[in-house]
Amino acid sequence: MDGLSFWVPGTLIYWEVSRVKIALTLKVIRFEKNAAIGIGSLIIFIAMILVAGIAASVFIQTMNSLEQQALQSGQEAIKDVSNGLRVTQVSGYNNGSTISQIAIFLRTTAGSDYIDLTYTYISLSDTSKNVILDLNTSIYNSSVSGGLFGTLDDTALTSTTYGLMVIRDVDNSCLSTSPIINSDDLVVLLVNTSTCFSGLDTRTEVTGNIVPEYGISGVISFTTPSSYINTIIELQK
């Protein structure tokens, strides 16, 4: 009701009261609109915090993963650089016409860690044929008791296997069941070249590598002499 249209006692007071009510109602409406905007801003702010938290979690996980990969790569690189095998000598056995066996003297490089010969293979080539030989742990001797080429039965060696003789093993780490060598050990790897290449003739170039599980490979490189005079022939020093 409009207070100005009807002037009776008490009307002015009613109109004034109505105006106050209208003003209060308008203020409440304005307050509710501001509150709605504030709630929306709060929701957006919380969403931004959640997104930032998720992104930070992803970044942390990625950094941890990269750190682990870098650490593993560093350890593998250290192993590859600091560990390895070294061929100190290669001798051959002259059976009267060809070199039927070769004995490869092997030790670890200076400062090298333990190397398991179970996972070490020989790659050998006479320029016309290449063979890969793995260790036959049953063809093993803890000493060279019968001479360099008389200790092991070379007839038991095939074109894919080599035998093992121990010359020096201070800590008894090189066993038939666990042939592990370290910096103090010296071993001989025996290869039957008759089964690999039908023997090595004179003036034959032979190359190869003794490849460990990790680290530097031992190098085999020699050329057989122009004639065979002695029974035992030094091929590489």
For 188-205, write each residue's pLDDT tens digit.
999 999 999 999 999 999
49 pLDDT band, cuts 50/70/90, is confident
180, burial (CB in 10 Å: exposed 0-12, middle 13-18, buried 19+): middle
pLDDT reported for residue 163: 97
What band does 77 get if pLDDT is binned at 50, 70 and 90?
A: low
- Residue 41 confidence (pLDDT): 75
**Average pLDDT of span 19-46:** 59
